Structures are given as structure tokens and as C-alpha cells.
Structure 1
């Protein structure tokens, strides 16, 4: 295993396992709507209908698929309350909260370098 050193310019060395892990999470977040769903949940949307309403353009079918993927990846927790009708709520897991904190530098990069609408 190669030692990894973080500098101001980025990762100087990355071994195969580190690359695989980073690629895995980037691919998950790269799925359409995944990031939007995580942000919606972080902003307080806890029910399926709230998430769909918050993430504009997200269909019920894709919301269900993405929520299952994010839950399977350990980024969100799904809590089912056996009421009539059944109540399902979603929340960021500790791993999901940690990921959103790690995405902060990407958001800052986007603010600096991505063109604003109308530019």
C-alpha cells in the first residue's frame, strides 16, 4: 500500500484501493438525483412525498430507486412506523452527514468556477 500525502495541490499518491473507493462514491453521487435527494434530506425533507416535491423533476419511480441505493450505501436511514397507513421517514446517517461535509469543497469549487445562469 502506498502512503498518501495531501498537499495544497491535491493527492500526490493514491493506491488502487483508495482510487476504487473514491470512484465508487463519486459514481453513486453521479447518479441523477442522488445529490439532490441527500441535500433535500439534509434540509429537512423526511417523507417520500417531501423529497419528491423538493427535488424538482424527480419522479416517484426514480426517487424509490435512488432512496434504496442511498440506503444500501449506508448514506441514509429509513425508519418505518407501523401505523395506518404505514409511515416511512428518511434521515441522513452519520456516514451521509460526513459525506455532505466532505462535499463542501466541491460546492465551493462550483461557486468559483462554474458559470452562473446567463453568463
Structure 2
């Protein structure tokens, strides 16, 4: 079983990548935890579409989001998995810390 430091390192391999935290928070802020690529691109506007695509794939590989086709319009979208939704308390604490310390 991995020790505490190894687990922390694994978590920061995901959260420490530029844009990943913002992508997760953006999906957490959406009403149902899902958004189309264009909506994510507009929100994470400083991130190029190429880099956004790479980050979304990394988050998908980590099981935090999943990619799917929306039946209403056929566009591809991304939504949080149960694992992704479980990050809500963590992201809330990070936001609180930032509000008080940055």
C-alpha cells in the first residue's frame, strides 16, 4: 500500500498540472457537472484548445471526467465522474485557502 507521501505525490501529478484544477472547478460549478468543449474553452480561455484537449484526456485517463456525446445536439461533452464529484470538498478548501491567503 502506498504511503502518505506517495499518495500526495500522485494527487499533485493530477492537480499540479496547469489548467487541471480550473477545469475541474469549472465542471463542479456547472449545474450538472458537464459542459461541451466550447464552453470549457470559453471558461478556461487562456488555455489553448490543443492544451485543453490534452488536459481533458489526462483527466479522463485518471477517471475524473468522462467524454460522451450529448443526445440533444450530438456534440461531445465532458462530465465529472463520481470520482470527480468527490473532489468538491477539496476544491472548496483550496478556494477558501486562496481567498484567505492570496
TM range (shorter): 0.7 to 0.9
Question: What are structure 2's unaligned runs of at least 5 residues?
Answer: none
Q: Choose from 32, 35, 38 the match for 2:24.
A: 38
Report what 2:11 is aligned to: 25
Higher RCO (C-alpha under 8 Å, 6+ residues apart): 2
TM-score by length of 1: 0.72
Report what 2:81 is aligned to: 93
Partner of 1:70, secondary structure, is: helix
Could you say what the CA RMSD is over the residues aligned between the two structures, in angstroms? 2.2
Partner of 2:63, secondary structure, is: coil
Question: What are structure 1's unaligned runs of at least 5 residues?
Answer: 2-15, 115-119
The separation in 2 between residues aligned to 1:42 and 1:105, in whole angstroms, is: 13
The structure having more radius of gyration, on CA atoms, is 1
TM-score by length of 2: 0.82
The separation in 2 between residues aligned to 1:49 and 1:103, in whole angstroms, is: 23
Specify which structure has the higher proportion of helix.
2
